[in-house]
Amino acid sequence: WRLTPGDKGKDKKIPFNPETGRPAASNKPETWSDYETAADAYDRYGYTGVGFMFTKDSGIVGVDIDHCYDKITGEFNDTAKAIISKQSTYTEFSPSGTGIHLFFKGRMPEGGSKNSTTGVEMYDSLRYFTMTGNKLEGAPDIIADDNGTLAWIHETYIRSAKKSKKKSRSKKNA
């Protein structure tokens, strides 16, 4: 992937096909490659980093928590603390250094993948994560088998927060 200037001062993390040098797409597997090819292109062509594409067949689910880490204080917000403490798995900082990506072997619960209010997202296909290799201190080097954590994260930070938001809106309209 390559960091490119975007609208309103927010940079974009564009995935590239390491074999053609053209942009890749999350819904076009022919634009993806294996790790070795991507790592070679990263070194050869000076990309910003290597990404991981989620597919249903991989059995890997990624959890993205945005803006959860304060670089000055070195503290995580309450949401990130709760999720990190629920189950130990491979976790790394996102390119901004203020978010984290957690990886689990398992299945993603149904009912949505993102909640902007909580800053938590969860994906198992048609999405890629930019990888940094900047692993969270104390996190294992391996991706853990889900022990119920994905369902808990989904219910607590993705689905439930959306339900309560809808309830509060309908009370205001009553």
The span from the CA of 119 to the CA of 5, in Å, is 23
Q: Residue 105 in contact with residue 89, Cβ under 8 Å?
A: no
Over residues 108-153, the pLDDT tens digits come to 999 999 999 999 999 999 999 999 999 999 999 999 999 999 999 9
Question: Does residue 8 carry a pLDDT above 80?
Answer: yes
How high is the pLDDT of residue 117?
94
Query: Catalytic positions, please?
Result: 64, 66, 101, 121
pLDDT at 7: 86
User: What whole-number distance in Å separates Cα of residue 6 and Cα of residue 22?
Assistant: 18
Contacts of 151 (CB under 8 A, 6+ apart): 109
How many helices and strands (H and E) does the chain possess? 4, 12
Kind plus residue range of the DSSP H or E element containing 163: helix 160-173
- The model's confidence at residue 163, banded by pLDDT at 50, 70 and 90, is low
Q: What is the pLDDT of residues 48-57, one digit of tens each?
A: 999 999 999 9
pTM of the model: 0.88
Q: What is the pLDDT of residues 25-71, one digit of tens each?
A: 989 999 999 999 999 999 898 899 999 999 999 999 999 999 999 99
Closest CA to 46 of 78, 10, 12, 21: 21
Identify the band that residue 99 occupies on the pLDDT scale cut at 50, 70 and 90.
Answer: very high
CB atoms within 10 A of CB 142: 11
* pLDDT for 72 beyond 90: yes
Segment holding 83, helix H or strand E:
helix 78-86
Beta strands 144-145 and 100-105, pairing class = parallel
